[in-house]
Chain A
Amino acid sequence: MEILYTLIILLPLLGSAIIGLLGLLSKPFSRQEGLIGAIGTLSVAIPFVAVVLAFLNFDGEAIAIPLFTWMKAGQLTISFHYSLDQLSLLMMLVVTGVGSLIHIYSIGYMKNDPGFYKYFAYLNLFIFAMTNLVMGSNMVVMFLGWEGVGLCSYLLIGFWYKDMLKANAAQKAFVANRIGDFAMLVAMFMIYRDLSVEGAEVTFSYKEILAHNFGENTSWIAFLVFVAATGKSAQIPLFVWLPDAMAGPTPVSALIHAATMVTAGIYLIARMHPVFEASPEVLTIVVIVAALTAIVAALTAIAQNDIKKVLAYSTVSQLGFMFMALGAGAYTVAIFHVVTHAFFKACLFLGSGSVIHAMEHMHTVEDPQDIRTMGGLRKYMPATGTTFWISTLAISGIIPLSGFFSKDEILASLYFHGAGFDTYKIIWAVALFTAVLTAFYMTRLTILTFEGEERFPKEQKTPHESPATMTIPLWILAGLAAVGGFMGLPHFTHLNWLGHEWLDKIIENNHHIHEHAEEAGLGLEIGLIALSAILAIVGVLYARNFYKKYGLEGDLRIERSLGGLYRAMQGKFYFDEFYQRTLIGPFTWFGQNVMSWLEENVVDGAVKGVSEGVASIGEVFRRLQSGLITNYVLIVSLGALGMLTYLIFG
């Protein structure tokens, strides 16, 4: 078994190296799409099998996979030690499972792309980095993965780098992530400072960090980790990169920017929850930021017309839900939502990929991602349409699909966080409203894409269903999205496997939630569940009827009734413009004016000064090289005399 666990870590790296290097060196190999796809998929699928085996044989004790010592410096020892416990096993199941499906899907999606091998090399590398992030048993290996997924995200967003807009999107993602990474580094430095005080050996392992009492630094560490998480997991204020990240190939959006990488922040906070638990004020910040993110993103999603943009904002909004759960101290619930969200959001993205694929092949629509030129597609693409519908209903929270259970748990955690009226009740209301919005915009997206009149030009070709490599993953994901929620049934049923049987073993949730729920009584609990279930159904039905009736006109009607707010939604609440004005603009101005002045006068001045100084010194000493032997003799003699003087008197 031991070797199998090592394979989980090494195979994706090996696959990436083989595909990348062979593809780079051998042109014939780089065209063997079947072979490359097989290698790429197997190097994720085999680890998935290994993870499943580990999951089935799991006996409650974390599996340690020590590989080797990375570096040793004084008190500091960093090792490549991995571990599989309940949390990382669950995350790994999602990462490798969804990862395998998306690899299979990509074989069809990326067909005939000149960068086929590169794509799979990057994708495998991403899985490797994600494995490090999730399985690393110390923070440094985790950070290696953290940076690694950022790099792969950058590479894959800018995969079609010849398009300047896409290259810029990649850069934006990278820079936004770096801000978060900086906070993470500072957090790690603080941790090291505190751990190393006692002269003890520092390994940065979670066990060591979580056992340590950081005193008054706890809040700072928690806050910095949260800032890091806002970068990777796209929360206000660093979420702006995620909508732009849709420039990458759609399977990438599904895997990296919906299912796995963006949940890294949630994973990390869940992993380090004792630190957060010890600093409630940071949790309050988390929950407020998360609620803001969720509602802002949901509102923005209503007014977008790009199929992937809608999904991107939906992702930001759902990540907001997860952070709300974290902020309420319900870490298990957050992870639950991570898992269900991975299923339905991956399915939605892959479905949108399938749609884009079909629209592209018609060659008649200008923008294959614009839902205004779609409509009625379910007739042509039954598999895609059906799975998309299932996932839409799941994310909207229709009972009994997976999204219902996880979202309901989040709402319940927020409501029962405190006994009386407090901030969390307001947050609960916001979350409930956002849930309704989610149902609304997702239904709008699905109706406009798959139902109603066909708005694409129909003269020549009709859209066609995607190949089996693409539809099979869709069906699997849709199935999981449908039934995945049963792993975490509501608390009162006492059948919550995910919580009670699995994650609660290592994660200590805020126990007040259950206490308050029990105090409030079963009636209120069931009433809340019914409320959110009914609201979701109302949201879906209302949107369905509204857009069935009015079609694209519906957007205009909303615009008329909302006015300025709608324009703000369309303009994505002007976050990009705000950053442009307040940060990027002044920075660019500073660069263009002040820095270029400094460049010309100070830096160049110093460089030129050195060269001119050398030249003028040379001008002086050049005269010494008269070419006259007599002068040389004179100088040598004077030197000798000088040395003699030094020897005698010195």
Chain B
Amino acid sequence: MSRAVETTSPRSAEAGNWGKEVRSDVHVAFEARDSGGIETSLESRVAPYYGSAIMEQTRDVLAELGVKHARVAIHDEGALPFVIAARIEAAARRAGIALGKRSLPEQHPLPPPSQKDRLRRSRLYLPGSEPKYYVNASGHGPDAVILDLEDSVHRGEKDVARILVRNALRSVDFGSCERMVRINQLPLGLEDLAEVVGESPDLILIPKVEESEQVREVDRMIGEIKARHGIIRPIWIMPIIESALGIENAFAVVTASENVAALTMGLEDYTADLGVVKTTEGHESEYARSRVVNAARAAGVQAMDSVFSDVADMDGLRRWAEASRAAGFEGMGCIHPGQIRVVHQAFQPTAVEIEKAQKVVAAFEEAQSKGLGVVSLGSKMIDPPVVQRALKLVERAKAMGVIS
């Protein structure tokens, strides 16, 4: 299933990271043996405080994995327990043992199920190989976090990262953030699903989607795993379109499943596919962006913008995000916590818009209470779509904390 499975199983393997620059991670060297029991060694910068706790956890994890004979050398840089467990499990699997077994860390209570059309102004990318960013991510206030298994994880580290992401989903408190996972391009992404879906992520992002069948395949697999685990809460899907063909198929992609809650795109790959240069102004991708918005709205789901990749350019980000909202997008990705506030400000309705909408809503409520079928404001009759948009805008403004 994972990379570590070879026809002839290796006996020694390692996983994780250590070194002077490494923080909150751990490196595990694992040597499977046929006899002699468990032999462990530990070097840790937090040994005076957690040395015995780490040794105890190591024994527990190995017992859960059914490992009876092994030598395990741990080099710890202050990793939290969910990271230590993930690295030991990954190293054991790479050594060709403990296959099909898992050692799950303590369960943090799941947040309430995610609503299909919930607020998704910002989604903060967290590399699937960098656990140090996880525990404080929600403090920066994004609407969602994305535990990323795709571009931020080296090709050779996918097997290790998906175990870490699984453990993070299970035991890290992400506060009120929606918990998203970006899997790898299919078929590798299916292995990611097998590992993470059991921990009830709220949404799966599928990269490089070109055809509706890819979405259906993911949706089927999610459904199977959910059934096996008895999960009833929803797991939404957000396809990422990153090619000219994908753009052409946008509507088919977004309508491939009821579980698609939003549609987004990746502009780096898209512009590469077109053979054009990606600019800060983004004129080269105007067609694709319009197409994504139109397809999403036609399907009744959210259109989500890509990311703005210059983390130092806050003015550029603000201009980009404001244009994005004006074009019909409801949110965008953030690659640094510093981007979140600017993005939220840009995607929040203006005071004038809110005031207008509140008037319409008041008129609607008055008409309702009077049992009138027609809503009017002064001498003007208000069309039902205008009422619907106003209701949604007021509700959104409340969710954003702009009005109470």
* A and B co-occur in one complex: no
